[in-house]
A and B are shown apart, each in its own frame.
Chain A
């Protein structure tokens, strides 16, 4: 059994240093790894990234993250990534990583993802260049997620987790105004997950959404935005094949 701890949307700033660390210090007792589902900062500044890095530095469980839209706001996501990497956080964007937990190989494929909406109510790759690029950006992100999951499968992972910031399904957005669903996620992410296969999909972004959902292909989805789970993190126990 693998115990996956996850949280997103912790939105740290200078005033929040130390708020999460007491809970993170309990991780070795209850989880094998920690996933951070993006929006770790408020504006994506280096100062805020250093607060996040300090909060997770030296934790005795592996920490794997994707960035969120807030982490891009200052338009230097590569610097945010570098600061987190310096604190031993594995930051994924269109790629995967494998964590060994007591002989079990846990593969995590990650991407920030993007918007576009859900089947029948989604943006199309048509018209103005800006509109086409909007959808293509999401498509590239979904393709990166699919290829990363497929590669983790080829590498013989016992468990595979898809980690995104934007939501792959509408289920976990329940509670948000339906009018803004197209800005909260895209079915292209779910299609990628269902095509490649995964045991769990974890995302954030939708603060007023709900925790539980499922892709059309039956993969369980969890919205771990901190305002949704109302804890420092949640833990999901995944069973490996015997």
Chain B
């Protein structure tokens, strides 16, 4: 039986948990919320072997920051992104609520 430390990646080395894509996606969510963006509205989920990142952010600068963070956190993984910038145009009609 191998010692537990081998499984856990003791001695400060990245172990199996650190390589688990699911946890890397969770850590991406944590970073997006905790860092400069305070971003909770971007979704990242596993789909057919890739991570798909979607959402709408308030500005072009926020979008760049999200994409940079995704590249850093998910380096080496197949990633598809579809992150939009919120639209700031006035509506062209009203909804009538009789």
A residues neighboring B (CB under 8 Å):
3, 9-13, 15-16, 19-20, 22-23, 26, 30, 42-43, 70, 73, 177, 199-200, 207-208, 220, 222, 226-227, 229-239
In the complex, per-residue mask of B14-58: 1 if CB is within 8 Å of any chain A CB, else 0: 000000000000000000000001111101000000000001111
Interface with A: B4-12, B72-80, B89-97, which one?
B89-97
Are B55 and A237 in touch, CB under 8 angstroms? no
List the A side residues contacting B84 at CB < 8 Å: 227
Looking at the complex, which one of A42, A177, A208, A235 makes contact with B37 (CB distance below 8 Å)?
A: A42
> Secondary structure at chain B's binding surface: helix, strand, loop or mixed?
loop
Are A19 and B59 in touch, CB under 8 angstroms? yes
Are A233 and B97 in touch, CB under 8 angstroms? no
Q: In the complex, given contacts A10-B86, A11-B58, A19-B58, what are 17 additional A-B residue pairs having Cβ atoms less than 8 angstroms apart? A: A11-B38, A16-B58, A22-B88, A23-B89, A30-B90, A42-B39, A208-B43, A227-B41, A227-B55, A227-B56, A232-B89, A233-B91, A234-B91, A234-B95, A235-B93, A237-B97, A239-B98
Are B97 and A232 in touch, CB under 8 angstroms? no
Contacts A232-B88, A232-B90; is A13 near B95 (CB within 8 Å)? no
Looking at the complex, which one of A19, A20, A30, A229 makes contact with B94 (CB distance below 8 Å)?
A: A30
Are A207 and B55 in touch, CB under 8 angstroms? yes
Are A15 and B59 in touch, CB under 8 angstroms? yes
Most buried by B among A3, A12, A42: A42
How many interface residues does chain B have, given as a range? 20 to 34
Q: Given the complex of chains A and B, what is the CA–CA distance between A222 and B96 in angstroms?
A: 13
List the B side residues contacting A235 at CB < 8 Å: 91, 93-95
B residues neighboring A (CB under 8 Å):
37-41, 43, 55-59, 61-62, 84, 86-91, 93-98
Are B41 and A23 in touch, CB under 8 angstroms? no
Are A23 and B88 in touch, CB under 8 angstroms? yes
Are B95 and A236 in touch, CB under 8 angstroms? yes
7 tightest Cβ-Cβ pairs between the two chains A and B: A227-B56, A235-B94, A207-B41, A42-B38, A11-B58, A23-B90, A15-B61
Chain B minimum-CB-distance residue to A17: B59
Q: Given the complex of chains A and B, what is the CA–CA distance between A13 and B38 in angstroms?
A: 10
Q: Given the complex of chains A and B, what is the CA–CA distance between A239 and B89 in angstroms?
A: 25
Chain B minimum-CB-distance residue to A208: B43
Q: Given the complex of chains A and B, what is the CA–CA distance between A16 and B62 in angstroms?
A: 10
List the A side residues contacting B38 at CB < 8 Å: 11, 42-43, 70, 73
A175 to chain B, nearest CB (A): 10
List the A side residues contacting B55 at CB < 8 Å: 207-208, 227
